[in-house]
């Protein structure tokens, strides 16, 4: 038995949070994403799964949830998130893979995956796995990079870009960086047992020249209104969707939380420094308050 193996865009050791977000250059994107998340998040909830949480940029935005599991494949990103948010029963830190989620089925009330699906070679598989760990009627907020955006259309028209922004297939712009067609995302969500409930288009003004000329506050102010057209058309580089988990998922047995990513059986007692699967004997480390499910230890 072994874990599913896919190529992963690994952020291990990356200074993504510092250079991309903390430098202030993406303040506009950060603020419009915050508005979109506020609009899509449920009013409250108990247990939220944040997939590809990175350094926890969005985590404080899930304030209405009692407990949040931050999962990311990169251990250093999870460590940064822990440094930022601190040790608290409110947060559970997990280094793990969306293709091999280490949780029992039907566990979470909600999940988010923001700026992650564009790194996945098998998005449909990931969506199916996410659905499995959500309870029936749970909310799943998914952000994706949209190939059907105005800039790509214009470049295609002028012959500056070979790939077709109107066609359904995904485009890999650079290695492990994909853009998707809204139609395709909808099809995948549907076949993974999600019902698309609401769409917001985000970052209408993500154009270098506009960001230089106009104050960020003005662009954010305009974007908040433009977002509301998302159910009708999607022409922005980033799209936020709220989805509802359809179909029946029985609730997990009481006190069950983690499951072995190798044999998929429930794990006992998450309060140890090493978790041992009583079925396949795989061992999983818990170091410095972070559960590490990427690779079993000897």
Ligand X SMILES: C[S@@+](CC[C@H](N)C(=O)[O-])C[C@H]1O[C@@H](n2cnc3c(N)ncnc32)[C@H](O)[C@@H]1O
Q: How far from 243 is each of 112, 198, 246, CA to CA, in Å? A: 10, 7, 9
CA dist., res. 92 & res. 2, Å (int): 25
Short-list 252, 230, 248, 251, CA closest to 239? 230
For ligand X, which residue of 74, 146, 238, 282 counts as binding (CB under 6 A)? 74
Nearest approach, Cβ of 115 to ligand X (angstroms)? Answer: 4
Nearest approach, Cβ of 25 to ligand X (angstroms)? Answer: 14
Is 29 a residue that touches ligand X (CB under 6 A)? no
Token duo for residue 237: 């580089």
For ligand X, which residue of 49, 68, 75, 77 counts as binding (CB under 6 A)? 77
Nearest approach, Cβ of 32 to ligand X (angstroms)? Answer: 13
CA dist., res. 74 & res. 243, Å (int): 26
Q: Mind giving me the DSSP string for 157-197?
A: HTTS--S-TTSSS-EEEETTEEEB-HHHHHHHHHHTTEEEE
For ligand X, which residue of 80, 82, 119, 259 counts as binding (CB under 6 A)? 119
Q: Tokens 């998302």 appear where?
A: 230
Nearest approach, Cβ of 126 to ligand X (angstroms)? Answer: 7
Is 238 a residue that touches ligand X (CB under 6 A)? no
Q: Which residues, numbered 31-60, are part of the site for ligand X (CB under 6 A)? A: 52-54, 57-58
Nearest approach, Cβ of 5 to ligand X (angstroms)? Answer: 11
CB 55 within 8 A of CB 15: no
Residue (38 or 137) nearer to ligand X, CB: 38
CA dist., res. 14 & res. 231, Å (int): 35
Judged by the rule CB under 6 A, the positions of this chain that interact with ligand X are: 8-9, 11, 16, 52-54, 57-58, 72-74, 77, 97-99, 114-116, 119
């Amino acid at each position: 038995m072994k874990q599913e193996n896919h190529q992963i865009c690994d952020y291990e050791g990356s200074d993504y949070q510092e250079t991309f977000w903390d430098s202030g250059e993406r303040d506009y994107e950060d603020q419009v994403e915050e508005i979109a998340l506020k609009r899509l998040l449920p009013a409250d909830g108990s247990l939220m799964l944040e997939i590809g949480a990175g350094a926890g940029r969005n985590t404080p935005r899930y304030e209405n949830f009692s407990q949040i599991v931050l999962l990311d494949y990169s251990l250093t990103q999870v460590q940064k998130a822990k440094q930022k948010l601190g040790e608290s029963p409110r947060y559970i830190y997990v280094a793990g893979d969306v293709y091999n989620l280490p949780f029992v089925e039907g566990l979470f009330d909600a999940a988010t995956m923001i700026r992650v699906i564009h790194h996945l070679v098998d998005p449909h598989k990931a969506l199916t796995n996410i659905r499995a760990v959500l309870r029936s009627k749970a909310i799943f907020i998914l952000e994706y990079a949209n190939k059907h955006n105005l800039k790509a259309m214009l470049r295609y028209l002028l012959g500056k870009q070979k790939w077709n922004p109107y066609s359904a297939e995904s485009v890999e712009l650079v290695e492990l960086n994909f853009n998707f067609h809204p139609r395709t995302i909808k099809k995948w969500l549907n076949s993974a047992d999600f019902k698309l409930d609401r769409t917001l288009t985000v970052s209408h003004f993500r154009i270098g020249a506009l960001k230089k000329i106009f104050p960020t506050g003005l662009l954010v102010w305009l974007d908040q209104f433009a977002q509301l057209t998302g159910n009708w058309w999607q022409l922005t580089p980033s799209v936020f969707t709220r989805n509802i988990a359809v179909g029946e998922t029985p609730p997990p047995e009481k006190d069950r939380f983690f499951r072995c990513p190798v044999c998929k059986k429930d794990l006992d007692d998450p309060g140890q420094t090493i978790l041992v699967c009583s079925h396949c004997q795989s061992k999983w480390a818990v170091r410095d308050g972070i559960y590490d499910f990427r690779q079993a230890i000897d």
